Structure formats: structure tokens, C-alpha cells
């Protein structure tokens, strides 16, 4: 699968994990978005259901086992190079997830993983769609302010 300069869009899944009025984010270890904070997630594998992928990606990146719940959104993520060629193209499917087991630990392509309060999020300069889906997650969990 060619992630950079793909011939077709790739399907990605995300796990919005909210607990104690905080959201769990990972700092990406690899492009795209290397060294930036984002929600745990990754690319759907052939033969895998999207909810299964959210469980797998959350476990691989955070060490946590989650249960996917409500679909929070479907987003386009298209990143272009300096010549305006499509360098990355993802269709992202994001689920509100609940932790059911595990100990928090950065793994896979996550350089770091930690919980953030709503008040800390603006400092992170998250992608617009990432901030939107996190906001929706807080609202669904009754943690919106």
C-alpha cells in the first residue's frame, strides 16, 4: 500500500477516547503529521471491519483496549506537497470509544501518548477536523463546556 502519493484514497479510522473529561492523544512518530498530536488511529487493513480497525489501532498506539461506540464523523484529509500534488489522501472514519482494559503506553507509530483536558487543546494547534471530532466526542460524553 502506497501511503505517500497514493493512486487511490486510503481509508483511515480514529478512536476518540474520552475519560474523566480528558481526551487521549498520540504524538505521531512518522509522516504525515510527524511530531504533531492527533487522535489514535491508522489505515484500515484489507478484510478488516472499520470498528475492528479502531480497536486494533487504539491498542497498537496506546496499549489500551477500547470498545467503539457512536460514529462521530467522516472526514477528508488531503495533504499536498509544495507543487500542489496530492501527497496524502485519507478518508477518516472516527468513533467515540470507551476504554475497557489496558495500561497506557506509547507504541507502534506513536512517539508519545497522554491525556489532555479541553483547556489544553488550543495550544496543540490540532488539524481542524481533529478538533471538530474531539469537540463532538466531548459533547456526546456530556463533557462539553
Q: Residues 4, 45, 70, 112: which is the catalytic one?
A: 112
Contacts 24+ apart (CB under 8 A), 79-85: 79/32, 85/5
45 has catalytic annotation: no
SS3 state of residue 26? strand
- Report residue 81 CA to chain centroid gap: 22
Bridge partners of residue 94, in order along the sequence: 14, 73
Pairing of strands 10-19, 86-102: parallel
Show which residues are catalytic. Answer: 112
Amino acid at each position: 500500500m502506497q501511503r505517500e502519493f497514493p493512486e487511490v484514497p486510503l481509508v483511515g479510522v480514529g478512536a476518540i477516547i474520552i475519560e474523566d473529561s480528558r481526551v487521549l492523544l498520540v504524538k505521531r512518530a512518522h509522516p504525515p503529521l510527524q511530531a504533531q498530536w492527533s487522535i489514535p488511529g491508522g489505515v484500515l487493513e484489507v478484510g478488516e471491519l472499520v470498528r475492528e480497525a479502531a480497536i486494533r489501532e487504539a491498542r497498537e498506539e496506546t496499549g489500551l483496549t477500547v470498545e467503539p461506540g457512536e460514529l462521530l464523523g467522516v472526514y477528508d484529509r488531503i495533504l499536498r506537497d509544495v507543487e500542489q500534488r496530492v501527497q496524502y489522501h485519507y478518508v477518516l472514519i472516527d468513533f467515540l470509544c470507551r476504554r475497557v482494559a489496558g495500561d497506557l503506553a506509547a507504541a507502534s507509530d506513536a512517539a508519545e501518548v497522554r491525556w489532555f483536558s479541553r483547556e489544553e487543546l488550543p495550544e496543540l494547534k490540532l488539524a481542524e477536523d481533529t478538533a471538530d471530532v474531539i469537540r463532538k466526542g466531548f459533547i456526546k460524553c456530556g463533557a462539553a463546556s
